[in-house]
Amino acid sequence: MKNIVVLISGRGSNMEAIVQACATEGWNARIAAVVSNQTDAAGLDFARARGIATAVVDHRAHPSREAFDAALREAIDAFAPDLLVLAGFMRILTPGFVAHYAGRMVNVHPSLLPAFTGLQTHRRAIEAGCKAAGATVHFVTAELDHGPIIAQAVVPVLPGDTEETLAARVLAREHVLYPRAVRWLVDGLLRVEGQSVRHLRGEPQLLV
């Protein structure tokens, strides 16, 4: 059985979706821990209520990004992770940290990468006149929001959309897309070929 560690900074709604899918679908995995950089992250309460181990590594208690990442890595490795899942974890990670978890760390980003990396994705999509937006699950690499793409979900950008309405539509699809992609990883169904990710059983990697 594989150990999954989830990193959050707030509510962790994608973490909730993954925890629930793991339980209801009977994955050959367990959520070994939920780790946050925020002591008051609401997702920690959700995890504790379900008997999942939690840990907090407060980035403000460390003098540098490297020192924080070293402490974070120590906390994570205590749970022997096979897979590290970023679910609304709002910290940029150092190259050394990323290299330590290469090939087993994934993230979900609220845009159709490679478009709109970074923050304020929904506002930027609306301002650019996009007719579609979405979310991307990808492997994490040292370059922010540029790792090999595992799966994407597409939603329409509707007339009159605001950042909030578009964000809500995208987030609802993330809650379907992210658990599906994590289960593929648990089941060993993905192969990275250069910058592309192939599903070994040919399941659709685009959710529309």
Residue owning tokens 């159709």: 112
68-75, Cβ contacts within 8 angstroms, sequence gap of 24 or more: 68/37, 69/93, 69/94, 69/96, 69/97, 72/35, 72/37, 72/97, 73/97, 73/100, 75/35
Q: Is 151 helix (H, G, I), strand (E, B) or coil?
A: strand
The pLDDT score that the predictor gives to residue 111 is: 98
User: For residue range 58-85, what is the model confidence (pLDDT) as tens digits?
Assistant: 999 999 999 999 999 999 999 999 999 9
The pLDDT score that the predictor gives to residue 88 is: 95
Q: How far is CA 19 from CA 22, 46, 186, 205, 208, in A?
A: 5, 10, 13, 21, 23
Structure tokens at 6: 């989830």
109 part of the active site = yes
Instruction: Report angle CA 158, 159, 165 to the nearest 5 degrees.
Output: 55
187-196, Cβ contacts within 8 angstroms, sequence gap of 24 or more: 187/27, 187/28, 190/150, 192/103, 192/139, 192/148, 194/148, 195/148, 196/148, 196/149
Q: How far is CA 186 from CA 25, 28, 36, 175, 179, in A?
A: 12, 7, 22, 17, 10
Closest C-alpha to 12, from 129, 138, 108, 142: 108
The pLDDT score that the predictor gives to residue 86 is: 98
Exactly one of 59, 100, 109, 175 is catalytic; which is it?
A: 109
How far apart are alpha carbons 160 and 113 in whole angstroms?
23
Residue ranges of the chain with per-residue pLDDT less than 70: none
Q: How many CA atoms lie within 13 A of 65 on its CB side?
A: 9
Please give the span between the terminal C-alpha atoms of the chain, in angstroms, as a whole number.
31
